[in-house]
């Protein structure tokens, strides 16, 4: 299974008018980094970089002099991501820009079924937040000390580590199968959230003594105890294996 963790930096926030000025991505194979990556700085043509955007990523027009236009790197980018799932944090933002750039070249957009939004996954898994990339790095012990500014390749590398933790850490390499794809809408772009589960339940850890003690505790709670409505058999003998 190939997945490309990617990120973009842009001249501003409006994908209809603004342009991608940096794109980076790293490849995972069966949820492990393969060592392959892609990275481009891209000249935005006559579109200037908004000062607030430059304050975030630190890229100036001077930095982009002599860099290729998106049309010049599109073929290499599409070849790198071909056949892979695309993973991004707040994927609706990045995919909006990527698909607008492709549309300007008359290329079909990348479908939502190929896109996984780690922000949506994080919000489902940690509903109290915060769920920014920096916050998730802190939560999962990912070293983000190099991240003084946003950068497409560095952010992709950090997100790859976060993503592996979000979907179950190293357990992802133990043969878990994709069982459901949920499509959600983020910033007017549909993105797919891939959910997975264990191929078989874990073996029970309770022994006969623990089950008997639990049954005695429930019996002491009285006839109106909620446990007796949820697990009627708990009041009697432990359920048979």
- Per-residue buried b or exposed e for 190-228, using 16+ beta carbons within 10 Å of the residue's own CB: bbbbbeeeeeeeeeeeeeeeeeeeebeebeeeeeeeeeb
Query: Which segments within the chain are labelled E, that is strand?
Result: 2-10, 20-29, 32-41, 85-88, 115-117, 177-186, 189-197
- DSSP conformational letter for 235: G
What integer is the mean pLDDT of 97-109?
A: 97
Predicted confidence band of residue 191 (pLDDT cuts 50, 70, 90)? low
Residue whose token pair is 């392959």? 36
> Distance between terminal CA atoms of the chain?
37
Rounded Cα gap, residues 71 and 79, in angstroms: 14
* CATH fold for the domain made of 2-197: Nucleotidyltransferase; domain 5 (3.30.420)
Question: Residues of CATH 3.30.420.10 domain(s) within the chain?
Answer: 2-197
Catalytic residues: 150
- With 60 as the cut, is the pLDDT of residue 189 above it? no
Q: What share of the chain is helix, strand, coil (3-state, %, to 5)?
A: 40, 25, 35
Six-digit token string for 2? 């190939």
Residue-wise pLDDT for 2-53, tens only, equals 999 999 999 999 999 999 999 999 999 998 899 999 999 999 999 999 999 9
| Mean pLDDT, the chain, whole residue set | 83
Q: Is residue 6 within 8 Å of 115, Cβ to Cβ?
A: no
- DSSP conformational letter for 106: T
Pairing of strands 20-29, 32-41: antiparallel
Predicted confidence band of residue 172 (pLDDT cuts 50, 70, 90)? very low
Residue whose token pair is 């501003």? 12
Q: How many CB atoms neighbour CB 95 within 10 A? A: 27
Q: What is the pTM of this model?
A: 0.68
Helices 91-104, 70-81: inter-axial angle, 10-degree rounding:
120
């Amino acid at each position: 299974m190939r997945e490309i963790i990617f990120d973009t930096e842009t001249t501003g926030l409006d994908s209809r008018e603004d342009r991608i000025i940096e794109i980076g991505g790293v490849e995972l194979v069966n949820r492990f980094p393969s060592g392959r990556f892609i990275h481009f700085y891209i000249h935005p043509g006559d579109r200037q970089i908004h000062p607030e955007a430059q304050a975030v990523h630190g890229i100036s027009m001077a930095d982009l002099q002599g860099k290729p236009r998106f049309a010049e790197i599109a073929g290499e980018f599409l070849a790198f991501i071909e056949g892979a799932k695309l993973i991004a944090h707040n994927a609706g933002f990045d995919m909006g820009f990527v698909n607008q750039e492709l549309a300007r070249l008359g290329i079909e957009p990348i479908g939502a079924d190929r896109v996984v939004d780690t922000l949506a996954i994080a919000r489902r898994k940690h509903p109290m937040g915060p769920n920014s990339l920096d916050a998730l790095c802190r939560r999962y012990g990912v070293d983000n000390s190099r991240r003084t500014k946003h950068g497409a390749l560095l952010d992709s590398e950090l997100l790859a580590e976060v993503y592996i933790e979000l979907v179950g850490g190293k357990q992802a390499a133990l043969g878990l199968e994709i069982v459901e794809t949920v499509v959600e809408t983020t910033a007017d772009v549909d993105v797919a959230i891939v959910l997975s589960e264990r191929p078989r339940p874990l073996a029970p850890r309770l022994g006969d003594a623990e089950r008997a003690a639990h049954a005695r505790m429930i019996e002491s709670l009285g006839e109106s105890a909620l446990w007796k409505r949820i697990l009627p058999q708990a009041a009697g003998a432990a359920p048979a294996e």
